[in-house]
Amino acid sequence: MATFDRRAFLRTSGLAGLALGLAACGDNGTTTSSSGGGGGGGGFGSVKLQLSWKKNVEFAGEYFADTNGYFKAAGFSQVELLSGGGSGTSVESGLATGRCWAGLSAPTITAPAVLQGAPLKIVGATFQKNPFAIISLSKNPIKTAEDLAGKKIGVQDSNELVWNALLKANGLDAAQVTRVPFQSDPSMLTSGQLDGYVGFVTSGPVNLRMKGHDPAYLLLADAGLPLVAETFTVTQETIDNERDKLKAFLTAEIKGWKDAVADPAKAAELAATVYGKDQNLDVKEQTEEAKMQNELVVTDDAKANGLFTMTPELIEQNIESLAKAGLSIKAEQLFDLSILNEIYQADPSLKLS
C-alpha cells in the first residue's frame, strides 16, 4: 500500500460525494450519549461515532445502544453521535483528522480512500444489502434491469457511480436508457415525467405509499450489484492497538441493533422525538422505514452468523461490484471481519434468536 498522505487525501476526499452508500448531506449537529440504563465504568472513556447521514431511523441501533445503556455497560463514559454532512464531514476525512474514532460509511466511499493510501478498514456491515433501488410505480413497474431499456430514469449527480456500475453489471449501454436530471422529487415519477428513479428503498416506497400511490422497486443488490451499507469503518491503528475497545463498542452496537430490529415503533419514536427531534420526522413514516430497513439488516446469513457479519461470499460479491464501479481493490485491503468473529465466538448468545 502506498504511504498515506493525509493532506493529499483531505484535498481529494470529495470522492466521498460519489455515494453508493449513505454518506451525503445532512446537518452538522451532534448528539451526546446520555446516561441511559445500566451501569458501566467508563474505562474506555469518550468516543465519537460519525454517522453517514442526518439523525433519522437509519441509526436506530445506535439510539438503543445509548438509551438502554449498552455503551455505558461496555465501558464507555460517553459516545457522541456526529451527524453526517457534505464531503467535508465524511467518515473517511473524519478518521483522517481524528474528528471521529469510528464511522458509518459504505464500501464505495471507503475503497477510494484506501486506494489513496488511507489506513482504514471496514469491520462490519449493518445493512447486508445496500438500500439503493430503482423506484417505480406498480402500474408501470421496473422489475428487472432489462426493464430499464427505453425508460426515463431520474439519477442524481451524486449517484452517477452507482448508476454506471448498474449499467455495466447488466450489460446495458447508457444510450439504451434516458437519464434525467433528478433532485429527489418523487412528483416527477407520479406525474409521468419519469418511469423510475434511483433512490432508497427504505424511504422512497414508504413516502409514495403514504401519499396514496402504489410503488414498485428493484433493489440494486438484486440486480447484479450486491453491496453492503452502513459499514463500521475504523483506522488500522484502532484494530491493532485498541482491539478490546473496538470489541466492546461493536458488542454494544449488536445489542442496540437487536433491540431496534425487535421494535420498529420504538426505533421510530427515538428517532423522531429524541435523537432527530430537530429533523421534523414523522413517527408513522419512520416506523414504516424501520420495518423496511429491517429487511436489509436481517438476512438469512445475519441470522445464522450474527448482525454486522459478512460471509466470504458476500465479501467477494462486494469486491466484484466495486470493480464494476471502477474500483479495483482486494478484500484484505478493505475488510477485516475478524473482530466480529471473535465477538460471536466468545458469546454466541449475541446472535439473533
Q: Please write the tens of the pLDDT for every residue from 269-313.
A: 999 999 999 999 999 999 999 999 999 999 999 999 999 999 999
Residue 104 clears pLDDT 50, i.e. is over it: yes
Range of lowest pLDDT (1-15, 71-85, 181-195): 1-15
- With pLDDT > 70 as the criterion, what percentage of the chain qualifies? 87
Tens digit of each residue's pLDDT (9 = 90 or more) over 109-138: 999 999 999 999 999 999 999 999 999 999
In order of start, what are the domains of the chain with their CATH numbers?
45-128+227-350 (3.40.190.10), 132-222 (3.40.190.10)
Mean pLDDT for all residues in the chain:
90
- Residue 186: pLDDT band (50, 70, 90) is very high
For cell 445500566, the residue is 38
Nearest alpha carbon to residue 318 among 329, 304, 308, 309: 329
Residue 55 clears pLDDT 70, i.e. is over it: yes
Sign of CA dihedral 261, 267, 221, 114: negative
Cell digits for 8? 493529499
Please tell me which residue, 183 or 255, carries the higher pLDDT value. 255
Q: How many whole angstroms from its chain centre is CA 126?
A: 7
**What's 193's DSSP letter?**
S
Q: How many whole angstroms from its chain centre is CA 106?
A: 6
Cβ-defined contacts of 192-197 (< 8 Å, 24+): 193/152, 194/152, 194/153, 194/154, 195/136, 195/140, 195/142, 195/151, 195/152, 195/153, 196/134, 196/135, 196/136, 196/142, 196/148, 196/151, 196/152, 196/153, 196/154, 197/134, 197/135, 197/153, 197/154, 197/155
Tens digit of each residue's pLDDT (9 = 90 or more) over 223-277: 999 999 999 999 999 999 999 999 999 999 999 999 999 999 999 999 999 999 9
Neighbours of 107 (CB within 10 A): 28
Predicted pLDDT of residue 23: 36
Predicted pLDDT of residue 87: 52
Predicted pLDDT of residue 184: 84
Range of lowest pLDDT (17-26, 191-200, 268-277): 17-26
Predicted pLDDT of residue 353: 83
Q: 3-state DSSP helix/strand/coil percent for the chain, to nearest 5?
A: 50, 15, 35
Predicted pLDDT of residue 158: 87
Predicted pLDDT of residue 43: 94
d(CA 66, CA 293): 20
d(CA 54, CA 203): 14
d(CA 238, CA 13): 21
Predicted pLDDT of residue 42: 55
Nearest alpha carbon to residue 248 among 35, 41, 103: 41
Amino acid at 20: L
